[in-house]
Amino acid sequence: MFNFDKNKIMNHLIAPSLLSADFGNLRHDIEIVNKSEADWFHLDVMDGVFVPNISFGIPVISAIKRDAKKPLDVHLMIVHPERYIRDFKKAGADILSVHYEAVTHLDRTIHAIKQEGMKAGVVLNPHTSIMLLENIITEVDLVLIMSVNPGFGGQAFIENSYAKIQQLKELMIKKGSKALIEVDGGVNLNNAPKLVKSGADVLVAGNAVFKSNDVLKTIHSLKNY
Ligand code: DX5
Ligand code: ZN
């Protein structure tokens, strides 16, 4: 599998979000990410119910898997994500993250994701308290902090996210959790250093990467600022 050990990750990881890629020319953008210093592909699945937008689903992820040479980090912004765990595994997901706000039986869902051989993540909306993770933090492989309200790329970063990362770090130390901390939404070259300093292990970036003049160079700069 891929390197998921917090102690062995030397540098923070970069996960470009294909939501901001050119959907008419997806293979081109996948190849660029393959060639780049990026670590994962971040794939945003939206159902028009949990979030007010519809993106793409299982067949598109299967198509991406054919060309992608790096792990697929799948972020589910859908209701009842527990119904589709096996389908996302079959499509090629390596990491599967579900929203805290979308799942009633989170412990069961996290274990079902792991049972399928994927890494399991939980995602928190900007208003959702870190303290709600107290009884699940030792079970998850990853916590994704939303630094915008989910649904769209290109939104402004919410400043309170730094404090949430720090609170999460404190909770993880207290509970002995080795989960990776991922941040998603409005991440760019200006806020990346402070995010990593606050404790982020993985930075997701959509617009900052794919709307830049030089995608390879932007990924390089996010990785090596
Ligand atoms: C938003 C998605 C993000 C989005 C980030 O709901 O979860 O992954 O693609 O895009 P940027 O980096 O443009 O805010
Ligand atoms: Zn996302």
pLDDT digits (tens, 9 = 90+) for 171-209: 999 999 999 999 999 999 999 999 999 999 999 999 999
CA 1 to CA 143: how far, in whole Å? Answer: 19
Closest residue to atom 4 of ligand 1, CA basis: 153
CA 61 to CA 76: how far, in whole Å? Answer: 12
Query: Is the pLDDT at 131 greater than 90, yes or no?
Result: yes
CA 135 to CA 63: how far, in whole Å? Answer: 36
Give pLDDT tens digits for 133-173: 999 999 999 999 999 999 999 999 999 999 999 999 999 99
- The total of other beta-carbon atoms located within 10 Å of residue 33's CB is 27
Mutation pick for ligand 1 pocket among 19, 23, 210 (CB with most ligand atoms within 8 Å): 19
* Ion ligand 2, residue ranges at CB < 5 A: 44, 75, 184
Query: Is the pLDDT at 19 greater than 80, yes or no?
Result: yes
* Ligand 1 closest atom vs CA 155: 14
Active-site position among 73, 94, 141, 184: 184
CA of 51 to the centre of ligand 2 (A): 12
Number of alpha carbons in the 13 Å side-chain half-sphere of residue 174? 12
* Ligand 1 closest atom vs CA 186: 14
Report the pLDDT averaged over residues 36-65. Answer: 98
The residue ranking higher by pLDDT, 1 or 15, is 15
Give pLDDT tens digits for 64-76: 999 999 999 999 9
Ligand 1, residues at Cβ distance < 6 Å = 17, 19-20, 42, 44, 75, 148, 150-151, 153-155, 184-187, 204-208
- Look at the pTM and tell me if it is higher than 0.95: yes
Q: Quick check: 22 and 52 in contact, CB under 8 A?
A: no
Query: Is the pLDDT at 6 greater than 90, yes or no?
Result: no
CA 31 to CA 75: how far, in whole Å? Answer: 21
The residue ranking higher by pLDDT, 5 or 148, is 148
Secondary structure (H, E, C), the chain: CCCCCCCCCCCCEEEEEHHHCCHHHHHHHHHHHHHCCCCCEEEEEEECCCCCCECCCHHHHHHHHHHCCCCEEEEEECCCHHHHHHHHHHHCCCEEEEEHHHCCCHHHHHHHHHHCCCEEEEEECCCCCHHHHCCCCCCCCEEEEECCCCCCCCCCCCCCHHHHHHHHHHHHHHHCCCCEEEEECCCCCCCHHHHHHHCCCEEEECHHHHCCCCHHHHHHHHHCC
Q: What is the pLDDT of residue 1?
A: 64
Query: Is the pLDDT at 3 greater than 90, yes or no?
Result: no
Which letter, b or e, does each residue of 41-58 get, where b requires 16 or more Cβ atoms within 10 Å of its Cβ?
Answer: bbbbbbbeebbeeebbbb
Query: Is the pLDDT at 20 greater than 80, yes or no?
Result: yes
* Ligand 1 closest atom vs CA 51: 6
CA 210 to CA 216: how far, in whole Å? Answer: 9
Q: Is 184 a catalytic residue?
A: yes
Query: Is the pLDDT at 220 greater than 80, yes or no?
Result: yes
Give pLDDT tens digits for 75-123: 999 999 999 999 999 999 999 999 999 999 999 999 999 999 999 999 9
Q: What is the pLDDT of residue 102?
A: 98
Set out the domains of the chain in order of their start, with CATH numbers. Answer: 6-223 (3.20.20.70)
